[in-house]
Chain A
Amino acid sequence: MIYAVFAPLLFAVLIPFLSRWKDRVHTGWLILPVPLAIFIYFLQFVGPNFEPQSMSVDWIPSLNISLSFYLDGLSLLFSLLISGIGMLVVLYSIYYLNHKEQLGHFYTYLYIFMSAMLGVVLSDNVYVLYTFWEMTSISSFLLIGYWHYRERSRYGALKSMLITVFGGFSLLGGLILLNIVTGTTSIREMVAQSEVILDSPYFPLILVFLLLGAFTKSAQFPFHIWLPDAMEAPTPVSAYLHSATMVKAGIYLIARFSPIFAGEPNFFVVVSLFGIVTLAWASYMAVRQTDLKGILAYSTISQLGMIMAMLGFGTDVALFAAVFHILNHATFKGSLFMIAGIVDHETGTRDIRKLGGLFTLMPISGTLAIFGTFSMAGVPLPFLNGFYSKEMFFEATLLNQAAGPFGQFLVAAIPVLAVVGSIFTFVYSMYLFFGTFRGKYREEELPQKPHEAPKMMLLPPFLLVLGVILIGLIPEVFNQSLITHAADAVFGEEINKSIYFWHGLVPAFYMSLAVVVLGVALYLTKHKWEGVYSILPGKLSFNRIYDWLVEKIESTSNRITTSYMTGSLRLYMVLLLTAIFVITSGVLVQTGGINLEVTDVAPITVTEVIVALFIAFAAIATIFTHNRIAVILTVGVVGYGLSILFVLYRAPDLALTQLIVETVTVALFMLCFYHLPNLSKTKAPLFQKGINVAISVGFGLLMMVVGISAYNSRAFDPISDFFIENSYPLGGGDNMVNVILVDFRGIDTLFEVAVLFGAALAVYAMIKLRRNKGAK
């Protein structure tokens, strides 16, 4: 099983080498066997006596993450869809993509996607599931942006990336919470602990996170907006990712976790509501589209909504119908996309307003389209699978469970919305077929002269349509060997359902009848009521909200950044100092660290006070002096005053050093000042001056409070007694300060010398090196 998952990925590595011969052999042929082999591998499990398989390989054992795969009915159904349709899509793309395209890129992305998708549906470990989940997002991004020189492609790719990765991220949150609550990373063990999850306080969060992940991936209302824009991808990609596989990943996720949530009223309300609204809204919007792929995109959204709603209902018939419809939708929608691609390929346009009357020119495509569209519409014919699942859907919508007033309302509203959605489904299906293949043939509007596609290009849609008919004719065979097992896996218990064509005169039959009658009526009068779209949605569009959000986030963050990143050093200093001031004083106040009652102080003497006054006076004078020499000299006064203080405080070495350093510094200043301009009085605004004063005074006060408080809280005695006692015996010197500098703490001194050396070198370099402006 692990080989099946990773085989496409391994081949993805080889594809760039294989694509070197693309002029002679289309790369698609060389790699076509891969999905075929996987499909055959999974096909061997199909049968009435299916037993789940599992396997596991260690990946990160210490984090309890292993590549564990589990194949039950649901995974099997999805694996077959992924590998089977994947194979057909590769075959189709061989004829769709010219060998002048960058085939290596295309197939590499496609095979990464195939691996990722197989990984999603087979993983039993939630983190492995998430890894593959994001791989699908990324490969889908690459595939949508395949024609990267087109602006629309890039826009669509970015949009789908933003939305699905947003969802993927919240999914990760949900999975982590599940892991915390249950203490396991295995999905099967989580399902077994369903009670624990439902009782945990995190349950609402888990639900929201998981649903966000699933709704964004499966394009549910209102996150559906990325899917129509993803139609900028090449048609094989649309057929594969955006109808059959990736968009069903969210469905798969809900189905996989639904045994945990079964019977939970919130789950029912949210999933059913979003599903049914998606169904109704998207089918309503689909009628409005003029692009073939646009119609199909909205149709996909609406069908996904239908499946999602059924997963929300959670009854056995609903889950069975959901699984059944997953299979049906993949077959007919895949074929329809391929036919849309053929039409595009042969006529040069996908605009349905320019198309028409193609049936005589493209009879095979037209015939295949009949089956696809009629199956999608749910036309009651015994050889169309869409009808069966739609009938079951109607049966499932007639719920009688209800919790709370909103639940009651929902139970009443669901059948109505379902019928409305299905009517519009009928309308756009008819529009899709009759608008393209019947009606007036307008040759002058078509960029190319249309003719039938090559036979091999028609083979993949033909095979899919064959699937539609086979499922329609012999549903019980598929039911017993595949669908039942999948439905069991979703429901958690065995479901014994059979698929009949004729249900008798049950309510679902009348609902189908209503759909067909009203659908035909609405389709025939379409041009009369089309004006309704200018009222609803009119200007209301989720795309606008998305664009507005993206634009707003960008401009707002830009504004915030430029508001403080002005390049002004002064502003940065103000911000830094304010932050230090606020945090320090806040901590002081919070912890009650202020202590201004001083007890143990040295006596005050007049000499020191006079020196201190001099220094303070000189320091303050630096601010008000605007003469260069005067400022430098006043700074000198501060330095010399400090050295006098050092003398008074019995620090001879300090006094000496300070004296020398101050002298040299003043001399340096004097040397430099000649080359610097005079300190003219700056005309700073009063407000700015006020801030400067406030900050400096505040900071001074803060340092004072910190100093005095620190002075008063001595936690333990200083360690200096050791230096005092051992200066002579150990260091062999009388001068304790010097012994500390070169003996006890010699490394400090070493690097201090290094600093001085570095400064000297830098000064030299700065004066000597003149690369920028030439030598002076």
Chain B
Amino acid sequence: MTEMLINSLIVIFISVGVFFILVTAIGLIRLPDIYSRAHAASKSATLGVMSILIGVFLHFWLIEGNFNPRIILGIVFLFITGPVGGHMMAKAAYFSGVPLAKETVRDDMAPLVDKEATKKEQL
């Protein structure tokens, strides 16, 4: 009975993870510009890989009796570095002049980039 419960928990975690990674891939194809793709890549991929790792951890711990703290550390590292990666890609794209999607309704950062450009010209 408990074995079945544990097994179904593991299956749920791993299939949720795979599903979210699939959603990330679909989002990378469907979304219009790099900034909205960064949304899909930084959120869904993080949660997807995290829940796969949780499933693997539970499998090795509860079924094979092998408590592996390295997987927990991996989850924590992913949790910290995933969003930072999304942020850095979006920032680098903006300052190297990648255009926003045409649906964009508002852009508060445009004056900032103009200022940077004039600063560079003065130098």
Partners in one complex: no
